Structure 1
C-alpha cells in the first residue's frame, strides 16, 4: 500500500467513525448524507470516500466537517483535536443567547441546527447529538440551540429535558439503534436507584454514553453496564469517573 492509499484509508476510517458517532450506519450513509445534509454529490462518489477508493476535495471535506460537527483539520488529515469544546466564556455566551431567545452565529452552528428555544408549555423536545449532550453535562441548563431535530414531549419531562437517538447495539434488546429516548437532566446522583438507565459523560470523552447503573454499598462500588448480555464489555467505568448528564425516563414510540 502506497502513501496515497494510506491517506485514503485513514480518511475513510475517520469519516466512518464520525458518521457512526452521529448515528449513521455503514449501509445507507451516502443516501442519508444527501437527504439530511443536502449534499449535492452522487451516492457513488460518497461511497468511494467511505470505502477508501478516493479522497474528497477541500470543499467537500469542509462541508462534511461542518455537518458532522468535527474539526476540519482532524477530518482532512488527522491533525489536532477531533472536537473543540467551547471555553467557559463562549459557553456562558451561548447560554445567555438561549435565555434571551437568540441563536448563535450561523457560521459556528452545525448544518442542520434548529434553534429550538424551549418553554414550559412547549409540546416538543429537542433531539441533541451525543456530542452536544456530553458538552453540556456540566452546566445547569441544556443548550437547546444545538438541536438536530425535535420530537413530541412526554408529560413527565421537565422543560430542560431532551431526547437522544440510540446508537449501536449495547442496549439491546430493550433499545434498538435509532430508537429515540427521553433524558431528564434535573436528576441528582443521590436520587438514582439501582438499575436506573443513565446518560453519562466519562473522563475526557467528548460524547455522552447510554448505560445501566449498578449500585454497590458505596459510591466507589457503582459501575455501568450494557443491557445486551452479549456485549463485549459487561462492567464499565466506575461512576466516580463520570459526570451524570441525566436519567433516561422513557422512549418515543410511534404506531
Structure 2
C-alpha cells in the first residue's frame, strides 16, 4: 500500500468515525450526507470517500467538517484535536449572549439543527412516543403522523415543540408516570443552565430519556440525574455521550 492509499484509508476511518458519533448508520450514509449536508455531487462519489477509494477536495472537506462539527485539520490530515473544547468562561459568555437576545415567538435555531415540520397554527401539540423523540435527535423528522395523541399547546412552546408522556418513576415526585411534559427542541446546548430538565438520547438507545442536567466546573463535568432521591443511580450518563433532543418547558396534567 502506497502513501496515497494510506491517506485515503486514514481519512475514510476518520470520516466514518465522525459519522457514527453523529448517529449515522453504516448503510445509507452517502444518501443522507448528500441530502442533509448539501453536497452537489453524486452518492457514488461520496461512497468512494467512505470506502477509501478517493479523497474529497478542500471545499468538500470543509463542508464535511462543518456539518459533522469537527476540526478541519483533524478531518483532513488527522492533525490537532478532533473538536474544540470551549472553556467555562467561553460557555458562560455564549449563554449570556443568547439570554440577552431579543425574545420572539420562536426560539433561536442552533447551528446544524434540521427544523421539524409541525402545524404552527394548531392549538394542539403532538404527543410522541419516546422512540420517536429519540429518532428526532438523529435528524429524523417527526410530524403529527407520528403522534400517539395530542395535548393543548402552551404559550411558551415554539411551533416545533412536542409533548411526551412521562414513563417510570425516576422523576418523582415532581413528574408522575403518565403526566404530559412539553419539549422545546429549538434550544441549543449553549442555552442550557444548571438544573434544567432535558430530553436526551444517549449512546445506541432507541428511546429518549428524561433527566435533570448538572453543570460542573468544565464541559467535561456535566452529568444527568433523576429527581427521585430514592432512585438507585443518582449520577447518570455523561452528557458528552448524549444527543440533546430538547428542553422540558412545562407539563400538562390530565385529571
Partner of 2:241: 208
- RMSD in angstroms over aligned alpha carbons? 3.8
Q: Tell me, in whole angstroms, the C-alpha distance in 2 between the residues paired with 1:41 and 1:128.
A: 26
Give the secondary-structure state (helix, strand or coil) at the position aligned to 1:101: coil
* 8 Å CA contact retained: 2:74, 2:82: yes
Q: What is the match of residue 185 of structure 1?
A: 213
Q: Which has the larger radius of gyration?
A: 2
1:164 paired residue number: 200
Runs of 5+ in structure 1 lacking a partner? 104-108, 115-122, 130-149, 169-174, 202-206, 211-244, 250-255
Q: How far 1:8 sits from its partner (Å)?
A: 0.3
Residues of 2 paired with 1:24 and 1:99: CA distance? 32
2:92 matched residue in structure 1: 92
Question: Where in structure 2 are there 5+ consecutive unaligned residues?
Answer: 104-109, 116-124, 127-132, 139-159, 165-179, 185-195, 215-224, 249-255
What is the match of residue 152 of structure 1?
162
Relative to the length of structure 1, the TM-score reads: 0.54
Cα distance in 2 for partners of 1:75, 1:36 equals 19
- 8 Å CA contact 2:161, 2:183 repeated in 1: no
Figure out how many residues of one structure are paired with residues of the other and give that number.
167
Query: In 2, distance between residues paired with 1:27 and 1:184?
Result: 34
Change in Cα spacing, 1:42 to 1:183, as seen in structure 2 (3 Å) is farther
Residues 158 and 60 (structure 1), Cα distance of their counterparts in 2 relative to 1, 3 Å cut: closer
Q: Distance in 2 between matches of 1:113 and 1:87?
A: 27
- 4+ runs deviating over 6 angstroms: 123-129
Aligned pairs for 1:91-110 within 5 A: 91-101=91-101, 110=111
